[in-house]
Structure 1
Amino acid sequence: MLLLTKEDIKKVFTMKDAIDAVKTAFKLYSEGKSVVPLRTNIDVPKFQGQSLFMPGYVEDLNSLGIKIVSVFPKNAQKNIPSVPAKMILLDGTAGDVCCVMDGTYLTQLRTGAGSGAATDILSNKDSKIGALIGTGGQAKCQLEAMLSVRELEEVRVYSLEYEKSYEFAENMQRELKDYNAKIIPVKSSDEAVCNADIITAVTTSKNPVFDGKKVKKGAHINGVGSYTPNMQEMDEYIVSKADGFYVDSKEAVLSEAGDILIPIDKGIVTKDRIDGEIGELLTGKIKGRRSKEDITIYKTVGISVMDIVTAYKIYEKALKMGIGVFADI
């Protein structure tokens, strides 16, 4: 059994590698070539926590696995991660565990890669201005994914606390300097989205984080943070008026994402608002952007096939490069 830390993963896998892996995952999912049960959520009220179990199987790769993600906010008081996660990968030919890796970084990487894949498929090729709303643990990978697929000149960063926006922008300007984009902190979401070609929202908000009426024609939006029925980052206006609304999984989004469930409950849109899955775009089953003026949306809640394919590709590369530590249990 191979053990891989966050640093091990970084040594063997780039954001572009992750985007390629997630594109494969989306295709397999939409072609019905994976088994992806809805995640199981177990509440732990005694410690005000919850654990989520995300299993899946991909026959083409002879791989299956489960990612376990816990949310225990009080962990912060103990100086331990409040959202610990591990990915357990199994050899699909024998059914035994072949790899355990850091699930927190894997989640950040594959979630960012999902937005990167959608942005690559749906945004205008000449996009120059990006907007990033949210500066939490997912934000860096979301930013790098955006920069990986488009030659952006600047990305505006906004969070509720300007100090966090400023600090994040400063750090990212150094860490992602090879992309040659200006990372600029701003003091309002209006300032962030004004004339932006690509907008990524990655927050835990229960209320819309930007004004949909301020989104320019031709923009592409990634809605990442709303993963429960009562969370909402995009307002009803932009959800109802966008020219294209695409998802990672129809089943998962219609079960979990407040961004679409809240407008449905209000009678503003129906389930037909979803035009299709990213995997269907990649296989050519449906069409995406039809003109430079279209506003497109990608809504994700995350599905286990993204974890399994990405983890499998990481595992393959780590074996070839001799990275990680073996344990015999």
Structure 2
Amino acid sequence: MKYLSSADIQACFSMQDAIDADKAALASYSAGQAAVPLRTNLNIADQNGRSLFMPGYVRGSAPALGMKIVSVYPKNIQRGLPSVPATMVVLDAHTGIVPAILDGTYLTQLRTGAVQGAATDLLARADSKTGLLIGTGGQARAQLIALLTVRPLTKVYIASRDYERARTFVNREREWVADHFAADLVAIPDPNQVVNAADVITCVTTAHDPVFDGRLVAPGTHINGVGAYTPEMCEVPPEAIAQANRIFVDTADGALAEAGDLLATLHAGQIQRENIVELGQLVNGQVPGRTSADEITFFKTVGSAVLDVVVASQIVDRANARGIGTELS
């Protein structure tokens, strides 16, 4: 058995690799080749915590099988430990034996950034130059890297509920970005200052109210909703979603059960269920994507184990080929 740390994963698997893997995962899901049961949520009352178990299996010529375990233990902060530890267990689909365990926290950041990157690659205008990233938490860096990987953005505005957090994020990431991409990062106190100038807008927050004014969205904009993952959350304004000519989700079952901003727009009658399609259907050529430069497109993800198992399986294959990881006896 092998253990792969976040450093091991970064050494052998790029954001572009993850984007390609996420496209394949969603294509398999939309083609009916994936089994993704509802996650098991186990309450650990004695510790005021809970553990979530998310299994998945993908059939086909390159089968993938595994389970991600995510725990939420608020008391861990007092112990000097992560409050949301995550571990990915990969199983050999042919034998059921566990060949590898991965750092689940970094895996989640990688595959979540990559699924936004996949949607942006498939839906944003090819000539997009300006991005707006709203949210500077643990997922933000991977979201930024994914944006810059798929589009030649020259400027990315960074916004947060706390302007100082946006400035801190920009100061922390600016040098690395300058070494890898030709983009300038600019912290702003209010995203509405630049919404109408953004070609791509990505929201990655836990907000319960919209984080920008949807009436300001310009024709041709692509919008990603990444952070709101419960029915109570709402980061992308219904006005923006209602304007979208194309509405895509990672998995219909997940998004229609958990995506608060999408559900609010749907329940208000501003969009219809038949307007919502899976990104995997676009990958499979079943539905059209952007058809004109003026269309507004929207993508919503709430995450799925199908992304975890496919990305993790490919990481293990790559690590084995390169001799990366720690062997456990």
Calculate the TM-score normalised by the size of structure 1.
0.96
1:186 aligns with 2:188: yes
Match of 2:90 in 1: 89
Alpha-carbon spacing, 1:82–1:192, altered in 2? closer, same or farther (3 Å) = farther
In 2, the alpha carbon distance for the partners of 1:222 and 1:42 equals 31
List aligned pairs for 1:1-329, cutoff 5 A: 1-60=1-60, 61-177=62-178, 178-274=180-276, 276-328=277-329
Code of the aligned partner of 2:50: Q
1:180 to partner: Cα distance: 1.4
**Secondary structure at the counterpart of residue 194 of structure 1:** helix
Give 1:192 deviation, angstroms.
4.1
Structure 1 runs not aligned, ≥5 long? none
- On the 8 A contact 1:155/1:183 being kept in 2, the answer is yes
SS in structure 2 of the partner of residue 176 of structure 1:
helix
Structure 2: which amino acid aligns with 1:35?
A
> Structure 1's 281 and 64: CA in aligned 2 closer, same or farther, altered over 3 A?
same
Q: CA deviation at 1:267?
A: 4.1
Q: How many residues align?
A: 327
Report how far residue 293 of structure 1 moved: 0.5
Give the root-mean-square deviation of aligned CA atoms. 1.3
Tell me the alpha carbon deviations over residues 15-50 of structure 1, each in whole angstroms, 9 at most, x when there is no partner.
111111111111111111111122222333443333
In 2, are the aligned partners of 1:54 and 1:67 still within 8 Å (CA)? yes
Aligned partners of 1:217 and 1:293 also within 8 Å: yes
Instruction: Describe the superposition over 1:162-197 as per-residue Cα deviations: whole angstroms up to 9, x where unpaired.
Output: 111001011111122211100110001202423100
Residues of 1 paired with 2:196 and 2:48: CA distance?
Answer: 39
**Equivalent residue of 2:224, what SS?**
strand
The change in CA–CA distance for 1:294 and 1:232 in structure 2 (over 3 A counts) is same
- In structure 1, give the amino acid aligned to 2:39: R
Maintained 8 Å contact 1:56/1:304: yes
Q: Please give the alpha-carbon distance, in whole angstroms, between the structure 2 residues aligned to 1:79 and 1:198.
A: 38
